[in-house]
Structure 1
Amino acid sequence: MLERAHHRPAGHNRRGRTAAVAVVMAVAAASLVGAAAPTGSAAPSTVSRQTAVIDVPGAAGKSRAAQKEALRRYWTPERVQEAVRAGEGRSAPASAPAPAPLAPVPGRTLDQVGKILFNFPGGQPSSCTGTVVDTPSGKIVITAGHCLEHGGPGGEWFTNFVFLPAHEQGTNPLGVFTVENMAADSLWSSNADEAHDYGVLVVDELNGETVADAAGALPLRKTPSATANVHIVGYSADAGYDGRNQQHCEDLTEPTEPPRNLIVAECSNMTRGSSGGPWLYNFDADEETGEIYGVNSLADENGMIATARFDNRTLQLVNWMDMAARTG
């Protein structure tokens, strides 16, 4: 049975089987670049937005800039390792016996993919995976909604977010990026709707560079089909994986049985910590290019991983938050 990876208390541009296969009409790709930006100051009803909260020692009463410096100091190597070991696992039940890991898919660390660190309400460090999206602002990182907040009535947003693009072996070659705002689909925020388990971070510039300038970015598109070849990436931190390196997996996707409306792939190496990792279409390992059309959301004991389908709501969420990042 597919369950959430963590439970309540987973053109390179320096500016991708739990149900019978069904024939599904492919949806045309939709580029965010050049798309009409939403107008007005209020977020659309499909978007639940939150200013990123910083509540680390030394931040109280300080300017926002000083708070962000305190946040970078807070994420010491020791605390990063604590977050990695947690791998989204706060108050999660003990892991079921893991299936045999798949042979790693060859490939270098993708700069556009990185580790997301945060604190649960109450302070426990944890981690997910995110990907830089190719947008005009160069500041958008996409991940799973459950990596940002507990969805549903009374759900709480997490705090103290940073993004570490190309994190590898405990190092951050491209820097530690703080976060200004975040947003999830309103159906995730209000109902923890698994069909809308995705969200975005608006990442601050670092030393005058956007995260897309530093790491490159990948385009976002609607989910092309229930059956498509996919390349999945994530910082797995359970079942024999240490969370310090990207894991890769490739498979032919399938739809879930109704009434669920998800897409699944067989990737037993996508364990805790890989939530939010990208599902890439048209992936080219040599060029390190691909189009994001899903994110790791749910997993089961048989090595199956699932994503929500990306649709017009997904594009609206990302596009509106990008517009907000550009206009302040």
Structure 2
Amino acid sequence: MLWNRPMLWSAVAVLTAATACAAPSHSATPHPAAEPRQRAEGPSPQTSAVPSGGLRSVGVLLDGEDHWCTASVVDSPRGNVVATAAHCVFEYGTYASGFSFAPGFHGGGKGSAPYGTWKVAAIQVDDRWRKDEDDTTDYAFLTLEPDARGRQVQDVVGAAEPDWSSKPSRRVTVVGYPNPEHNPANRPITCTTDARHDADQPARMVRIECQGFWDGTSGSPWLADYVDPGRPGRVIGVLSGGDTDTESTAVLFGARARALYDKAAHVPVKSTAH
């Protein structure tokens, strides 16, 4: 499988800080509507991704001035968890370290982080990925430290709820950041199209056909029931790779993904406010 990334690595694993941080609690489960209502219509299907305003909760993994993968905030009790692809943060037996998440990143040259940056405190990848880089577990959940003002990322940019039991055939909106050689303005791209299971792939792997998801878009959230930036829907998986520049794949979140998410959501982190 071709993966949409070049990688930047440090030889030392990300370390989890030892003390817990008090933070507002967030709901990790949807609240039922008071009464049934008709579902709003989302965007029409596309065959090519287009530059867009993106989502505040979607951004890049940033190492100094360089970014290499996409990630997004997922709703969690403490408001400090993001999802990305496993190959973005663990490869060849080594964890990435010393990097941050920059939601809403954009702009030419070095780009800018209009909502700030959050340092990654801990990485959760599946044992099957860590041991064998099993394609069916190419997802990861990262725990973020509060920013310099003591804020959790979800309080600043919002989040999409994770879906742990999605069916394969869904209309999805995928938002990601190609690397600068294909995207010198560092603008997010968006494509809405129909996901489906490929009979030649493992059971939980789904694919889309949409041009434009170049290197850098690994980790992009696949959002089902997306309507608009204020109603982003639910994350059913993240972009993991693809055999061509038109085809992209994701692994549907399930019980194994949820177990990683639960670990990420309960990592103790210290406040960096001063």
TM-score, normalized by the shorter chain, greater than 0.5: yes
AA in 2 matched with 1:322: A
- Indicate the percent of aligned positions where both proteins have the same amino acid: 24
Alpha carbons 2:211, 2:247 under 8 Å: kept: yes
In structure 1, how many angstroms separate the alpha carbons of the residues matched to 2:2 and 2:267?
A: 33
For residue 115 of structure 1, the aligned residue among 60, 69, 91 is 60
For normalisation by structure 2, the TM-score amounts to 0.77
In structure 2, how many angstroms separate the alpha carbons of the residues matched to 1:175 and 1:8?
A: 23
Q: Check if 1:280 corresponds to 2:226.
A: no
Provide Cα deviations, 1:242-291, integer angstroms capped at 9, x if missing partner: 36111001111121224533100012111111110100011011524210
For residue 163 of structure 2, the aligned residue among 208, 211, 221 is 221
Provide Cα deviations, 1:203-250, integer angstroms capped at 9, x if missing partner: 110101101111111110125222110100100126733361110011
- Does the residue aligned with 1:253 lie in a helix, a strand or coil? strand
CA shift in 2, pair 1:243/1:189, >3 Å: farther
Alpha carbons 1:110, 1:288 under 8 Å: kept: no
In structure 2, how many angstroms separate the alpha carbons of the residues matched to 1:142 and 1:299?
A: 19
Alpha carbons 1:139, 1:325 under 8 Å: kept: no
Task: Report deviation, 1:103.
Answer: 5.5
Provide Cα deviations, 1:63-89, integer angstroms capped at 9, x if missing partner: 99xxxxxxxxxxxxxxxxxxxxxxxxx
- Does the residue aligned with 2:190 lie in a helix, a strand or coil? strand
In structure 2, how many angstroms separate the alpha carbons of the residues matched to 1:111 and 1:240?
A: 21
Map of 1:21-170 to 2, 5 A cutoff? 52=14, 102=48, 104=50, 107-118=52-63, 126-150=67-91, 155-169=93-107, 170=111
Task: Report deviation, 1:318.
Answer: 0.3
AA in 2 matched with 1:132: V
CA shift in 2, pair 1:138/1:8, >3 Å: closer
AA in 2 matched with 1:3: L
AA in 2 matched with 1:280: L
CA shift in 2, pair 1:272/1:282, >3 Å: same
Q: Which runs of 5+ in 1 are unaligned?
A: 10-49, 55-62, 65-100
Provide Cα deviations, 1:67-119, integer angstroms capped at 9, x if missing partner: xxxxxxxxxxxxxxxxxxxxxxxxxxxxxxxxxx82527x5330110111249
Alpha carbons 2:237, 2:250 under 8 Å: kept: yes
CA shift in 2, pair 1:323/1:159, >3 Å: closer
Q: Check if 1:211 corresponds to 2:153.
A: yes
Task: Report deviation, 1:199.
Answer: 0.5
Alpha carbons 1:51, 1:180 under 8 Å: kept: no
Q: Check if 1:197 corresponds to 2:138.
A: yes
- Does the residue aligned with 1:115 lie in a helix, a strand or coil? strand
Alpha carbons 1:236, 1:242 under 8 Å: kept: no
- Does the residue aligned with 1:190 lie in a helix, a strand or coil? helix
For residue 230 of structure 1, the aligned residue among 172, 178, 181 is 172
For residue 246 of structure 2, the aligned residue among 303, 307, 318 is 303
Alpha carbons 1:144, 1:198 under 8 Å: kept: yes
CA RMSD of aligned residues (A): 2.9
Report what 2:114 is aligned to: 173
In structure 2, how many angstroms separate the alpha carbons of the residues matched to 1:223 and 1:103?
A: 26
CA shift in 2, pair 1:131/1:259, >3 Å: closer
- Does the residue aligned with 1:159 lie in a helix, a strand or coil? coil
For normalisation by structure 1, the TM-score amounts to 0.65
CA shift in 2, pair 1:239/1:306, >3 Å: farther
Task: Report deviation, 1:326.
Answer: 7.1
Alpha carbons 1:278, 1:292 under 8 Å: kept: yes
In structure 1, how many angstroms separate the alpha carbons of the residues matched to 2:7 and 2:61?
A: 18
Count of residues paired in the alignment: 235
Report what 2:188 is aligned to: 246
Structure number with greater Rg is 1
Provide Cα deviations, 1:24-56, integer angstroms capped at 9, x if missing partner: xxxxxxxxxxxxxxxxxxxxxxxxxx95169xx
